[in-house]
């Protein structure tokens, strides 16, 4: 489709906003782009530069390179068609699966093999240039720019989850060296417009070319935040033929920007398997200062199996990294998404994790920090008491509201003088006695400790701002039923609680429990999709 646009351009005088066909084709092919990078004196990952013919050749090449190796689809992208192999058996298996996935996803089953860089960081350099005749990434006056880097090391299944600019890892010398190589590659491929060169960087700050994206990338807003440039405007100007308005010395690093990719995914399954459904309620946290949201959906939109499950790009900006991360934490707490599973809990846990805050990150961050999979936020004793106190106060506030009448009743009703409640709250495997008293604010006793809880208690709002002993928390109550069960989103994670009066809790032991469903003869798909093959029939031994 892109190539056909250039035919239209020639016949109808339409100008394509972006690079030409040669650059798109050359950089879209990982084998050709690697050869071009080598010729441009750009650092590349050691490996085999040709097409791998079959599994036997893959094993031979992998042995020559030395394990571990990365098997990649030449036409790949988005983490598809990639496998890491640590021995001959994994190489054969990886070759088979990668070639099948590549053919299915891209219509091209060609593969290449490279040395796997263990524990790398994923860093990108944004470039913006103009081509006049033979000059690439330059205007008539020879101007060429690199717009600093983005750190994109937080990934799952080789797809980015959290990005930031600048990187905590690079020093000015390495930044300049990477930028100069990015521009050299763009010139070598006769590139024009805005594009991104991706590098892998090891712990010794050795960097290697990964690929070049001949388009505006998902995470471009963080570059715009720290440079003050409008990249889309620059692309349009370049397409029109105008020279760049800036010199390399004019490109600053002002402040810090962080982007979280908000997905309709279940983060408790492999750090995020797609979820489908209708967005029954959707509210973006645009009231939070220095927040930008790029989205293509709205309340009532359907999230289907046919497109990427991304809901939005959530970007926050601050004068420094700590400020940008604090605003991101607040924005995630104030983001309302109902009707589909989402990854807000995972995003929030990542940005507050001590390793991330310290900048100690790599592409292995998620499996290293959560070796048994993501389980949500683990409450401290104080946070557990805050959640119990908030849930109990919310329960009492609702009880008090149910006693109110609007207008003047025909028959005078005696006002309730009740000011204290004894409750039993179930959270996880624990059952906690909670005492609530109200004298203006709620005073809640949990574990023998008293907490003061205040809020406007607007129970119709999807967001509730609650102050607990001076600490402000934004919570969301997602559901409740007549048996006292309620779901509350607290610190990004959804917790299921059951709140009963002391008497109801004592009587509940006499209630028969619903028998658990017998799933021993059921196979459930972990995610929505299409059944493409059933490889067994009745009577087969499995």
Q: What is the largest CA-CA distance in the chain?
A: 92
Report how far residue 500's alpha carbon sits from residue 512's, in angstroms, rounded to the nearest whole number. Answer: 17
Is 211 tagged catalytic? yes
Contact 316, 301 (CB under 8 A): no
Contact 190, 22 (CB under 8 A): yes
Residue whose structure tokens are 């001590």: 354
Contact 115, 45 (CB under 8 A): yes
Upstream peptide bond of 166 is cis (omega within 30 degrees of 0): yes
What are the residues whose beta carbons fall under 8 Å from the beta carbon of 429, sequence distance 6 or more? none
What residue ranges in 173-255 does DSSP mark as E strands?
193-201, 207-213
> In the numeric block, which tokens belong to residue 449?
């400790």
> In the numeric block, which tokens belong to residue 364?
């292995």
Q: Name the residue among 256, 316, 322, 320 with its Cα closest to residue 286.
A: 316
Single out the catalytic residue among 211, 219, 224, 329: 211
Cα separations in angstroms, 203 against 42, 46, 96: 19, 17, 32
Contact 493, 375 (CB under 8 A): no
Q: What is the DSSP letter of 105?
A: H
Upstream peptide bond of 76 is cis (omega within 30 degrees of 0): no
Contact 192, 112 (CB under 8 A): no
Ordered alpha helix ranges (H), 107-155: none
Contact 185, 212 (CB under 8 A): yes
Report how far residue 482's alpha carbon sits from residue 492's, in angstroms, rounded to the nearest whole number. Answer: 25
Tally Cβ neighbours within 10 Å of residue 150.
26
Report how far residue 147's alpha carbon sits from residue 377's, in angstroms, rounded to the nearest whole number. Answer: 36
Report how far residue 35's alpha carbon sits from residue 20's, in angstroms, rounded to the nearest whole number. Answer: 19
Q: Three-state SS string across 23-48, please?
A: HHHHHHCHHHHHHHHHHCCCCECCEE
Cα separations in angstroms, 316 against 245, 330, 358: 27, 10, 18
Element (H, E) at 333: helix 321-333
| Active site (catalytic) residues | 211
């Amino acid at each position: 489709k892109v190539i056909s646009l250039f035919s239209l351009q020639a016949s109808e005088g339409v100008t394509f906003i972006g690079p030409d066909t040669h650059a798109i084709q050359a950089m879209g092919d990982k084998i050709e782009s690697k050869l071009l990078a080598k010729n441009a004196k750009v650092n590349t990952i050691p490996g085999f530069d040709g097409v791998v013919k079959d599994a036997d050749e893959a094993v031979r090449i992998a042995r020559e390179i030395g394990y571990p190796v990365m098997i990649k689809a030449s036409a790949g992208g988005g983490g598809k068609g990639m496998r890491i192999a640590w021995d001959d058996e994994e190489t054969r298996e990886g070759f088979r699966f990668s070639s099948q996935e590549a053919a299915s996803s891209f219509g091209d089953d060609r593969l290449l093999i490279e040395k796997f860089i263990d524990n790398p960081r994923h860093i990108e350099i944004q470039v913006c240039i103009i081509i006049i005749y033979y000059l690439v990434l330059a205007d008539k006056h020879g101007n060429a720019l690199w717009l600093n880097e983005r750190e994109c090391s937080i990934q799952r299944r080789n797809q980015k989850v959290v990005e930031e600019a600048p990187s905590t890892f690079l020093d000015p010398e390495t930044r300049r060296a990477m930028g100069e190589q990015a521009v050299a590659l763009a010139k070598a491929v006769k590139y024009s417009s805005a594009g991104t060169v991706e590098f892998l960087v090891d712990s010794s700050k050795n960097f290697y070319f990964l690929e070049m994206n001949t388009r505006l990338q998902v995470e471009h807003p963080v570059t715009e935040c720290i440079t003050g440039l409008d990249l889309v405007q620059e692309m349009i100007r370049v397409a029109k033929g105008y020279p760049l308005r800036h010199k390399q010395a004019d490109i600053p690093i002002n402040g810090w920007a962080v982007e979280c990719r908000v997905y309709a995914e279940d983060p408790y399954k492999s750090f995020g398997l797609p979820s489908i459904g209708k967005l029954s309620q959707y509210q973006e946290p645009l009231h939070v200062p220095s927040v930008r949201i790029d989205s293509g959906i709205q309340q009532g939109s359907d999230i289907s199996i046919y497109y990427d499950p991304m809901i939005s790009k959530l970007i926050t900006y601050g004068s420094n990294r700590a400020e940008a991360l604090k605003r991101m934490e607040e924005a995630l707490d104030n983001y309302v998404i109902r009707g589909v599973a989402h990854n807000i809990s995972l995003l929030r846990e990542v940005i507050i994790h001590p390793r991330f805050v310290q900048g100690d990150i790599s592409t292995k961050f998620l499996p290293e920090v959560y070796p048994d999979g993501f389980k949500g936020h683990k409450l401290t004793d104080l946070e557990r008491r805050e959640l119990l106190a908030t849930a109990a106060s919310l329960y009492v506030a609702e009880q008090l509201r149910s006693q109110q009448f609007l207008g003047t009743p025909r028959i005078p009703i005696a006002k309730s003088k009740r000011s204290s409640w004894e409750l039993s709250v179930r959270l996880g495997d624990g059952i906690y006695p909670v005492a609530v008293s109200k004298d203006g604010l709620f005073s809640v006793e949990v574990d023998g400790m008293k907490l003061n809880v205040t809020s406007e208690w607007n129970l119709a709002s999807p967001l509730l701002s609650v102050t607990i002993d001076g600490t402000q928390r934004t919570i969301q109550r997602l559901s409740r039923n007549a048996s006292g069960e309620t779901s509350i989103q607290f610190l990004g994670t959804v917790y299921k609680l059951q709140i009963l009066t002391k008497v109801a809790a004592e009587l509940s032991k006499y209630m028969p429990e619903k028998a658990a469903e017998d799933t021993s003869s059921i196979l459930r798909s972990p995610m929505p999709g299409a059944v493409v093959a059933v490889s067994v029939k009745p009577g087969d031994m499995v």
